[in-house]
Structure 1
Amino acid sequence: MSAMSIFASPRFLPNVMWADAASCAATGALQVAFTGALAGLTGLPAPLLMGTGVFLLAYAAMAAFMASRSTPPRTLIGLVVAGNFGWAVACISLLVSGIFPVTAVGVAWVLAQAVCVVVLAELQWTGLRRSRGGVNMVMA
């Protein structure tokens, strides 16, 4: 299967949404389950880790719902793309601001999230563009 046929697959966008859901569920679960340990390792405040962890778990459920639809909800996925780019900007802003004494592990944790969401947003955007010419996708 060529790279172009992967992008053209009707399952491409749902598969990317499943990947987004899985990565957010894993990150959120780690941040909620190990808030104190991660705060110590990263230099990030425990309330920030807990709050974003809970948000990520809720978001993962929403992304899984979108991925499970027979026709992915284009408008919602468009909002997800914008949100993912926004999350990356927030991650970089957090590091650049210097408000928290972020450790090297913390920098790696935050940068990993930024890179992951940019890659996912780009794949989601590609999926939306590729699906535009095909079946008319509406909210399911």
Structure 2
Amino acid sequence: MITQSPSTGLTFLRRVLGLDAAVTAVNGLAYVAAGELIGKVLGPDATTLRWPGVFLMIYGAAVAFLAAHPRPAGVVTVVTVNGVWAVGSIVAIPAGLLNLTALGVAWTLAQAAVVAVFAVLQVAGLRRVN
């Protein structure tokens, strides 16, 4: 059995947090800057995309802040928010909350999967550190 030092686990966790932060912030920026165009393709109007976009930029910055720390705290909160986002995205589809096109449904499922993978990797990183 190969064992890893906590510092290796910490490096892994910080990298996953950093990637999560970057993907999240870029996604949010796209929703804010190109909401009208994205809305035409995915379904929701620009206003519906703008507020989640603002949230995603702020959240991405917060996750980047955590990733930059030598011993990031608050990772459980990040995992929880990611889990809620992934589940909420999936629930929003059949609920018809976003007026999604077929491509919008595919995008929503894909981004929910990516966010869920980040959460799983963050849990794995926490386990490696502890």
In the superposition, the TM-score normalised over structure 2's length comes to: 0.90
Which runs of 5 or more structure 2 residues have no equivalent in the other structure?
none
1:72-87 to 2 correspondence within 5 Å? 72-73=72-73, 76-87=74-85
After TM superposition, list the pairs within 5 Å mapping 1:30-45 onto structure 2: 30-45=30-45
* 2:63 aligned partner: 63
**Counterpart-to-counterpart distance in 1, 2:112 and 2:99:** 19
Q: Do residues 113 (structure 1) and 111 (structure 2) align?
A: yes
Q: Quickly say closer, same or farther: Cα 1:4–1:113, change in 2 above 3 A.
A: farther
- Structure number with greater CO (CA < 8 Å, separation at least 6) is 2
* Structure 1 letter corresponding to 2:34: F
Percent of residue pairs bearing the same amino acid type: 39
Aligned length, in residue pairs: 128
Q: Is 1:19 aligned to 2:37, yes or no? A: no
Q: Are residues 101 and 127 of structure 1, via their aligned partners in 2, closer, same or farther at CA, if it must alter by over 3 Å?
A: same
Unaligned runs of 5+ in 1: 133-140
Q: Kindly provide the amino acid, as one letter, of the partner of residue 51 in structure 1.
A: W
- Deviation of 1:4 after TM superposition, in Å, equals 7.1
Within 5 A, what are the aligned runs for 1:93-132? Answer: 93-132=91-130
Letter matched to residue 91 of structure 1: S
Structure 1 residues 16, 100: closer, same or farther in 2, change over 3 A?
Answer: closer
Once the two structures are overlaid, the 10-residue window that deviates more, 80-89 or 43-52, is: 43-52
Query: Secondary structure, in 3 states, of the residue corresponding to 1:11?
Result: helix
Q: Detail structure 1 runs of 4+ shifted over 6 Å in the superposition.
A: none
Tell me the distance in 1 between the aligned counterparts of 2:14 and 2:21: 10
Q: In structure 1, how many angstroms separate the alpha carbons of the residues matched to 2:61 and 2:98? A: 30
Amino acid at match of 1:95: I
Q: Using the alignment, how far apart are the partners of 1:54 and 1:131 within structure 2?
A: 32
